[in-house]
Copies of this chain bind each other. A is one copy, B any other.
């Protein structure tokens, strides 16, 4: 198949490109490097089935090649420091960017795949979160540029599905980690690993009692590839329900990597979600999918991978 992936130079996008190429597809990557890395494009540039377009997908997707089978929209700043630096660009890639992807899919009679997020649940009042939960999001908070952009992206994807008949998929990705995350990513796993690598103290925001579920990127990609083969249009959670408090997680990193590390506490960011854990019953039934990588294995793997670069 011929598959266009927006956000191909990002963390998740680059793993998706790698897997699609491995499966023998032709992949067109599109990225403007607002939060991605050129090295993630260079990885594939010599591959015979890969081509790349540098473009801001919010302004349009300048693809003029042969008919596409899929448009997969993964472009978006995804970590708080990135989207808070670029709130307007983040809002735009959720609205105009998603719509440009949907229009491209429409023209090519291709299917459309949206990477949404567990952030659409906001600070959830239901635990764990099934796909039917409507969420608890502050529309005007400092995180709203990301959360509301993704809720909008889901709404417009459903509108194109219902009104224009586009064959769509929506996944809600829960916290994911793995190689090729940016060191300044700001998400808790990356922070801890990089702090550990530099022998610094591990920073916990708040008292560390807020929980996170961490999914290893290979598991996410497996879920994505499976969903491409299943005809289901409403959102599907992809995440690891194995729950840790941020403090437990810091202790895991400390114990696995360097027992000498100190853990320090800092004050919490506005609207920081307190608990987040996916109900993955739907993905299990529909995709016969379940995350396989244990946190301990994922962290060691990631640590070794980063150390080796």
Contact = CB atoms under 8 A, between A and B. Distances in A.
Interface of A: 87-88, 91-92, 94-96, 99, 120, 122, 134-140, 142, 144-145, 147-149, 151-152, 154-156, 158-160, 162-164, 170, 234-235
Given A91-B159, A134-B136, A140-B234, 17 more contacts: A88-B160, A88-B164, A91-B95, A91-B152, A92-B99, A94-B152, A122-B134, A134-B137, A134-B138, A134-B139, A136-B136, A139-B151, A139-B155, A140-B170, A140-B235, A144-B151, A145-B155
A158 B135 contact: no
Nearest to A143: B155
Given A95-B95, A134-B122, A88 B156 contact: yes
For the complex of A and B, the 4 pairs showing the least CB-CB separation, nearest first, are A95-B95, A148-B155, A144-B155, A87-B159
A149 B139 contact: no
19 contacts: A87-B162, A88-B159, A88-B160, A91-B99, A92-B99, A94-B152, A134-B137, A134-B138, A134-B139, A135-B139, A139-B151, A139-B154, A140-B158, A140-B170, A140-B235, A144-B155, A148-B151, A151-B151, A151-B152
Nearest to A146: B155
A150 to B, nearest CB: 9
A199 to B, nearest CB: 36
A271 to B, nearest CB: 9
Contacts of A95: 91, 95-96, 152
A142 B140 CA distance: 23
Contacts of A160: 88
A138 B87 CA distance: 23
Contacts of A164: 88
A106 to B, nearest CB: 11
Contacts of A234: 140
A51 to B, nearest CB: 29
Nearest to A151: B139
Nearest to A160: B88
A142 to B, nearest CB: 8
A235 B144 CA distance: 14
A147 B139 CA distance: 11
A122 B87 CA distance: 24
Q: Which of A88, A94, A235 has the most chain B CB atoms inside 10 A of its CB?
A: A88
Nearest to A135: B139
